[in-house]
Amino acid sequence: MSRVSFEQFQVQRAEFINQEENRALGSDVVLNEDEQKVNSHIMKLKKAELDVGFKTPRDFTPARHFFQALDKIKASPLFQLIQKMPKGAILHAHDTAIGSMETIVKATHKDHLWQNGDFDRPDPPKFQFSKSKPNPLNGSEWRSVAAIRREIGNEGYNNNIRNLFSLYHADPVNAYQCINQIWGTFSNIFISLEPIVTYKPVWEEYFYQSLEELYADNVSYLEFRGVLPPVYDLENHTYGPEEIVQIYYDLSEKFKKTHPDFIGVKFIYAPHRLGDDDAFKGYMDIAESLHKKFPAFVAGFDLVGQEDLGRPHVDFNERLLKMSPAIQFFFHAGETNWNYGTDENLIDAILLGTKRIGHGFAAIKHPRVLEEIKKRNICIELNPISNQVLKLVDDFRNHPGSYYFSDNYPVVISSDDPAFWCASPLSHDFYIAFLGLASARQDLRLLKKLALNSIEYSAMSKAEKVEAKHKWNIAWNNFIDQTIKSIAE
């Protein structure tokens, strides 16, 4: 068999590349003339970072740990442009880790806050809002935070709070030796934070400020998970699940009134997967009651917590199948690098009819799962920075999202718990995805597709999606116009 000529080879090669590009996420997006101008600009910025990284791989941002690249990302013209871009929705985030910890720092200046334990001890200190001094805890006396502030100074105290409620470390690779260790620290942050953030005035302030930060990051819609811990006040009143969701709803409506171009908010009830059978029955009852009272605001049900150490889906499947079919599922599944059982949660999630899959990191190991994801049009909620910080992947170029991008899988980019790793609500994850997960050829069409996907795969009704796309298109066109003007200057 004779070889083809070089000219024929060149034609075949060009066609091969063209076929690959036509399979990629965003290939169906058609850019108008103005968008093409912006695309040329954004691809110059992307190529500049790729070129630097290719010459000196250790300097390529997605090849480094996110904590070690924060300053470099902040200075990146590509990141700064992505910050300005309307990114649509966050579809995967957790209630008390969305907004920055500065709201919590501010909350520790409030009256009636008490602390038990010191910052320099192995066990983190505990906190409580109370009109009077709480009873000793295991023989240890409580002290007012105001008094501790006077001793160590406001800035010293504020920095201790910032460090306590963050996974950030200057040497993250050595600081966290394995996934179980960092998940333990991660879980302890939620536990330590809870008595501060669940004080009703702080609960309200934190959620509303989170919306402000989303809006400033050019995110216009939020679907967030919450475990609904008891919220309390100084009058010894404890607020239950329905009262807490009512607070969320009222604050969301208030925010929409003052930000008319903001699309809205929906809530996904997501209790912990470590609960025993009696607790799980209670979760199901809460899910049913919330759905009845807030059918348009409560989007559905999920289970949260480390999959590797949590109860597998097979423990819950029979009972989940008995839940009202009106309650949609948005299951975390495949947030693991094991091929050892935990990853089979993906199979259960799909067969249970999940509308989206949280993370789906392990889906690439399951061809049938991938087939069903496409067949059933199940969206994968990618959270690249979370996956690196929580030790599923070291180098973003090796993230399975690269494959999902290359073959047009239904995916969105989200941020999970951005406050705990000092990230913006969504821009950092978009930047990492565009530079580290996407191919060198994927361009503005991918970014636009990801934003549109976040609306299309949301739990909004058809009518809500029409309005959402209208608002997003206005913001997008304004972004294109402003970018063209800045390029010309």
What positions carry a catalytic annotation? 335, 359
Report the 10 Å Cβ neighbour count for 151: 9
What residues does 381 pair with on adjacent strands? Answer: 358, 412
Helix (H) or strand (E) run with residue 8 in it: helix 6-23
- Alpha-carbon distance of 429 to 431, in angstroms, equals 5
CA R_g for the chain: 23
- Alpha-carbon distance of 66 to 182, in angstroms, equals 15
Question: Which of 244, 268, 255 has its CA nearest to residue 208?
Answer: 255
Report the 10 Å Cβ neighbour count for 288: 15
Q: Which residue has the tokens 């800045």?
A: 486
- Alpha-carbon distance of 172 to 157, in angstroms, equals 23
- DSSP, collapsed to helix, strand or coil, labels residue 239 as strand
Q: What is the DSSP letter of 312?
A: -
Report the 10 Å Cβ neighbour count for 37: 16
- DSSP, collapsed to helix, strand or coil, labels residue 2 as coil
DSSP codes joined into one string, 120-140: TSSSPPEEEE-SSPPPPBTTB
Task: List Cα–Cα distances, 466 to 280, 410, 411, 455, in angstroms.
Answer: 36, 19, 20, 9
Question: Which of 406, 364, 435 has its CA nearest to residue 19?
Answer: 406
**Could you tell me what percentage of the chain is helix, strand and coil, using 3-state DSSP and rounding each to the nearest 5?**
55, 10, 35
